[in-house]
Amino acid sequence: MKPVWFLPLLFLALAIPVRGQTKLPSKVDSLLQSASEALNNYQQQIAPDIHCADETEEPLRYACEVFLERLNSDVQDAATKIATYRQLTTPQSVDLFDIYEDFHGIMDDVRLLAAYSESYELHSQHNHDLFADTHNNFVKLTPWFGSVVRDSIQQTDKCSAP
């Protein structure tokens, strides 16, 4: 007797996960997915619409260009680090912390850009709205990173404790 009839049943048993065995995305995976979406949204939707040349004062145009260049560089660095982190077979907390630091840098850039332009009160309404969109795009991620990094470090400490 050939066990051919048994193979479809075995396949079906392996294909249907037992309740409670499906793996939900971890906090880190959810965070990195949201961070990637925010970075992509900034790069594809927000940044191309910011026009520093629209500013009415030369110092404001220059500051906008400098801060925007720095912000774009920090956003690209964060995106690269996230992609690298996802490729690691055994990511460490320090790798996640590096991304967290990049998001702090991004928020610092956003705050400086907004503060400098508001101090002159001469920026275009268009750019003002985009600066606000940029802030809102990233503001929730930085504290979320802090929480996940802290939890990751605590988990590492628990695993390495004797």
Please list the rounded mean pLDDT of every run of 10 residues in the chain (162 residues). 46 44 64 94 94 82 87 95 91 85 89 68 73 86 83 68 55
User: Which pLDDT score is estimated for 161?
Assistant: 53
User: Which pLDDT score is estimated for 160?
Assistant: 57
User: Which pLDDT score is estimated for 78?
Assistant: 94
With helix as H, strand as E and coil as C, how does the chain read?
Answer: CCHHHHHHHHHHHHHCCCCCCCCCCCHHHHHHHHHHHHHHHHHHHHHHHCCHHHCCCHHHHHHHHHHHHHHHHHHHHHHHHHHHHHHCCCCCHHHHHHHHHHHHHHHHHHHHHHHHHHHHCCCCHHHHHHHHHHHHHHCCHHHHHHHHHHHHHHHHHHHHCC
Q: What is the Cα–Cα distance from 35 to 79, expressed in whole angstroms? A: 8
User: Which pLDDT score is estimated for 162?
Assistant: 57
| Structural domains of the chain, with CATH | 26-150 (1.20.140.40)
User: Which pLDDT score is estimated for 122?
Assistant: 54
